[in-house]
Amino acid sequence: MKYNEKLVNKFLAYITKEKSLTSVCKELDLNEYEVLGLVNYIKNKDINIALKKSTDDIYMIYMGDIEYHEKNTYDFETDENNEFKFIAISDTRLGSKSQQISILNDIYKIGHENGYNNVILCGNISAGLYRLTDLYAESNFINDTEGQINYIVNFFPEIEDMTTYFITGKIDDKHLKQEKISIGRRIAEKRDDMVFLGENSCDVNIDNVTMQVLGNKLGKTYTVSYRTQQQIDSFRSEDKPEILLYGGLLQMEKFTYRNVRCISTPSVCATTKEMTEKRFSNTIGAWYVTVKTNEKGLLESVTAISSPYYVTDKDDYIKARPLKKGKAKKLTKRGKK
């Protein structure tokens, strides 16, 4: 039996509260084998449906997208010059009135013109969700999960031969917690040039060089390097990555500590009302990073060029235009393990 989107959505809406197999069959006008087949079909899409057997029936409830806690890994290879070049950004927060699509587009255009065809986004691609009674509810011009997914799919820059690799961050997690939807997986399903690396973190290998991409889940501190140093201190000596790409702190900083080259990625959104009232500094911009390896694939050097932006447009979300150039890059099977 073929299962269409309308049937899947109807089924999931019906079992948001625990229902018996008998009642589901009646509601959907399907037999038991067809319903259990539907459950299997949905579970294969990483959507969690809990089943409970009793003496008289089988009961089921929709638990939302599965949140994975195991480590995610991804492999990159250097080019003929033993280099891997990428742009490092964070906190685009699309759906917020503070988003800066014009700056984001500019970063992509500059990167493409200079041979940086990979972008690594270190969390908070979306504006997240606010409760209607929240003090900052009016900060978003789109305040629902499906709306933000569709907006990101339609407005995130798309340039031929460029690929965006991204993790979700603390703000994106609100979609999973409140709506049971993994916004990262949903976006990646709709954009061939956007690769979801995982929720909050991913261990990356560039040839034989280890790099961790991480989104901050803790509060911002007054000392700029405190959170990143604290993270590096938490690594066991044998687990330390050679490069730490850290997002969510709204700052632009690089340093070496315990032999870990740390790059703290800036935001690509203007200062929000919440940032102002909580006294959070906010640096806007991007890093243009080149990782060079030797003939054995070991780390030779890391070069990171900063590109800060000092002026934002408060009406950018009103005037936003999507950047679309050429056909999106077709992805190969190389990559996620």
- Given CA atoms 190, 195, 197, 199 in this order, what sign does their dihedral have? negative
What is the spatial distance between Cα 169 and Cα 268, in angstroms, rounded to a whole number?
A: 14
Task: Out of 1.20.120.330, 2.130.10.30, 1.10.10.10, 3.30.56.10, select the CATH number for domain 5-65.
Answer: 1.10.10.10
Q: Return the pLDDT at 220.
A: 60
Q: Return the pLDDT at 326.
A: 77
Nearest residue to 183 (alpha-carbon basis) of 223, 148, 135: 148
Rounded to the nearest 5 degrees, what angle is found at the Cα of 225, between the Cα atoms of 183 and 306?
70
Residues of the chain with CATH 3.60.21.10: 73-325
- The conformation of residue 172, written as its DSSP 8-state character, comes to T
Nearest residue to 263 (alpha-carbon basis) of 204, 198, 182: 204
CB half-sphere exposure, 164, CA atoms < 13 A? 28
pLDDT digits (tens, 9 = 90+) for 2-21: 888 899 989 998 998 889 99
- Given CA atoms 124, 113, 153, 85 in this order, what sign does their dihedral have? negative
Across the range 177-194, mean pLDDT stands at 92
Q: Return the pLDDT at 329.
A: 47
Residue of higher predicted confidence among 65 and 195 = 195
- Given CA atoms 250, 75, 94, 318 in this order, what sign does their dihedral have? positive
Residues of the chain with CATH 1.10.10.10: 5-65
* 3 phi, psi to nearest 5 deg: -110, 120
Tokens of 160: 């031929």
Q: Return the pLDDT at 230.
A: 87
Burial class (CB in 10 A: 0-12, 13-18, 19+), 174: middle
What is the spatial distance between Cα 337 and Cα 316, in angstroms, rounded to a whole number?
A: 38
Residue 196 pairs with which residues in a beta bridge?
166
What is the spatial distance between Cα 248 and Cα 197, in angstroms, rounded to a whole number?
A: 16
What is the spatial distance between Cα 15 and Cα 45, in angstroms, rounded to a whole number?
A: 17
Other CB atoms within a 10 A radius of the CB of residue 100 amount to 26
CATH code assigned to 73-325: 3.60.21.10
CB half-sphere exposure, 165, CA atoms < 13 A? 27
CB 95 within 8 A of CB 151: yes
Output the pTM of the full model. 0.81
CB 111 within 8 A of CB 119: yes
Residue of higher predicted confidence among 328 and 248 = 248
pLDDT digits (tens, 9 = 90+) for 318-331: 999 999 987 544 44
pLDDT digits (tens, 9 = 90+) for 37-90: 999 998 887 788 888 888 889 999 887 776 655 678 999 999 999 999 999 999
What is the spatial distance between Cα 311 and Cα 323, in angstroms, rounded to a whole number?
A: 20
- Comparing 2-16, 162-176, 305-319, the range with the smallest average pLDDT is 2-16
Please state, in angstroms and as integers, the Cα–Cα distance from residue 278 to each residue in 136, 142, 221, 304, following that order: 12, 23, 11, 30
Q: Return the pLDDT at 332.
A: 41
